[in-house]
A and B are shown apart, each in its own frame.
With several copies, the nearest count.
Chain A
Amino acid sequence: MSFDVTAVRGQFPILAEIIDGLPVHYLDNGASAQTPLAVIDAVRHYETTGRANVLRGVHRLAERATESYENARAQVAAFLGVQPMEVIFTGGCTAAINLVAFSYGSLLKPGDRVLISEIEHHSNIVPWQLLRSRAGIELDMLPVTTDGRIDLGALSRLLTPRTKLVSLAHVSNVTGALLDVRAVVEAAKAVGARVMLDGAQRAPHGPVDLPSLGVDFYAFAGHKAYGPNGIGVLWGRPELLDAMPPFMGGGSMIGRVTLAETTWAPSPRRFEAGTPAIGPAIGLGAACAWMQALDWTGAHDHEMALVQRLMDGLQRIDGTQIFGPASLQNRYPVVSFMLDGVHPHDVAQTLDSFGVAVRAGHHCAQPLMDRFDLDGTTRVSMAPYNDNSDIDALLAGVAHAAKTLR
C-alpha cells in the first residue's frame, strides 16, 4: 500500500508541537532535519546506562560504551554498503571535508589541481581555497547550467592530468539536482583523479550504495540525516586512508608516543583524535538504522509527489520562478524559488507567520548566487514526514506575501 506518512510523523515528537499558537510545518530539512524518538532514546540509553569513554577502559561501562560506539559505526557502514572499519566519525560534514583537504591535501604538490563546481556549498569550497593558500594547488570550477545542474559537458575541458581530486555535491542543497556520478567517476578515472562526494543532501533520503558509485570519499552530516548535532561521517577507500597522514593529533590516534616522535594507529582510529563524539555517533547509528527500516520506494514517491504539488501550486502564484530542474527526474526534494518583487527573507518571514519553516538567502552558496545574480532564493526542503498540509500552508503563505509585500 501507499506510504504511511502519519505513522512516520508520529515518530517525530517536534511535529506535534504548537509554537506560539501555530503548528510546525517544517520544510527546512536541508538545513537540519528533525530527529525521531528512536534516535533520542538511543542517546539517552547510552547516557543513563552505559556512558564511559571508549577503547581504553576495562570496566563494564567502558565495554558497553565501546560496543555501542562500534555498533554505530557498523550501522553507518551498512547504510553506505561498506565495511565498518572504512567509516570515520567526524564532527560533521564540514569537518569530514576539511579532514580530506588537510590530510589527503597534504599529499598534493604545487600545481596539482582540485576540481569543484559553482554549485558547491561553502563547506566544499572554502577548505579547498585554504588548501590552495597552504599548498599552492590550483582550484577549477565546473559551471552550472541554467536549470541548476553541474554542467558535466565541461568535464573534459577542466579535467587534466594534474587534477588529483574532484569534489562535488551528490545532491545540490540549492536546486535538489542529483549528480550523474557515473559520468564524473568515468571521466575522473580516465585522468587518474580521485572523486569525493559531498553527500550532505543525499544521505537524508535513504541508503547509499557506495560500492556501485565507484567514488573514493564520501561525506555527510548527522543532523541532516535525522541524527544528533556534532557528528558526521567520512568514508574513504581503505587503501587511500591508509596512505594518508593524520589530521588532528591527540589520544587514540597514535601507535606509540615518545617525545621525539610518534607513530600512527591505522584508520579509522588515526583520524579520530581525542575522545570521539560517542553519544552523537550512537544517535547517528540509530538514525541510519531508522532510515534503513523505512520503505524508501514509498518515501521517495511520497517526497516527489510533494515536490509536484509544490511546483504546481507555485505556478499558480503570479511571478514565481523555480531555480532548479523542472522535471522530477534525477532530483531530490529540495526546491528553490523566487517571488518577483519580494525578497526571499520576506517570503520566509511571512511563511513563518503561517507556521511554515523554510530557509531563505544564499544557502551557503554565494558563488552560485553571484553567478546567476540572485539576491538569494526561498528554499523548501522536504523529508518523508512532510505531508500535503505542509505544502498547502506554504502555498497559502507565498500567496499572502505576493499579495501584501509588493
Chain B
Amino acid sequence: MSDQLYQERIVALAKAKTGAGKLENPTKTARRDNPLCGDRVILDVKLDGEGRIAEIAHQVRGCLLCQASASALSSVAVGRDAAGISELRHDAERALGREPGETHEPFDAFAPVAAHKSRQDCVLLPLEALKDALS
C-alpha cells in the first residue's frame, strides 16, 4: 500500500460538507459535468450589490476530491467577487503543481493530488462551476 492521496486533511474537508445543499432563490446557478468520470457539480450563489458572494451552496455528485474541493471553496468564497474567486483558482492550480508559487489554506490541502494528473479535474470542477455562475 502506498496511499499518498487521501490524506487526513482532504478526507476531513470532504466529510465537513461545508456549504452542501441548495439556496432558495439563488442569484445564479451553474452546473458543470466532467464527461470522462461523470462527476457533476451544481453551484448556487447569492450575490450582493457589488457582485460579491453573499451566500453559496453546492450539490456535488462526485468523488471525494470533488467534494473536498467544493467544501474548501464554500468555506472561503463568501465576500469574494469574480477576481477573488480567480485568486482561489490560482491557489488550487499552485497546489496541483500546475502553476509555480506558494499556496494557501484551504487549497494547500490538495498538494497530494499533484502526483495524480487524472484526478486534478476533480479538484477544479467546483471552481469551474463557480466561475460559470459568476460570469
Contact = CB atoms under 8 A, between A and B. Distances in A.
Q: Do chains A and B touch in the complex (CB under 8 A)?
A: yes
B35 A349 contact: no
Interface residues of A, number: 36
A112 to B, nearest CB: 30
Given A58-B118, A353-B1, A353-B4, A345 B63 contact: yes
Contact of A57 (B1, B3, B63, B118): B118
B7 to A, nearest CB: 10
A405 B35 contact: no
Interface string A367-378: 001000001100
A29 interface: no
Interface in A9-23: 20-22
Interface string B49-62: 00000000000011
Interface in B41-81: 61-65, 67
A346 B33 contact: no
Which DSSP category, helix, strand, loop or mixed, fits chain A's interface? Answer: mixed
Contacts of B67: 343
B38 interface: yes
Nearest to B15: A406
A405 B65 CA distance: 11
A255 B2 contact: no
A386 interface: no
A400 B5 CA distance: 13
A66 B119 CA distance: 13
Contact of B2 (A67, A345, A353): A353
Contacts of B39: 345
Given A57-B118, A346-B64, A256 B35 contact: yes
B83 interface: no
B1 A369 contact: no
B76 to A, nearest CB: 23
Nearest to A343: B63
Interface string A250-272: 00001110000000010000000
Interface of A: 20-22, 55-58, 62-63, 66-67, 254-256, 265, 342-346, 349-350, 353-354, 360-362, 366, 369, 375-376, 396-397, 400, 404-405
Given A265-B35, A349-B5, A376-B38, 13 more contacts: A22-B2, A58-B116, A255-B33, A255-B35, A256-B33, A256-B35, A345-B39, A345-B64, A346-B65, A353-B3, A361-B37, A361-B38, A404-B11
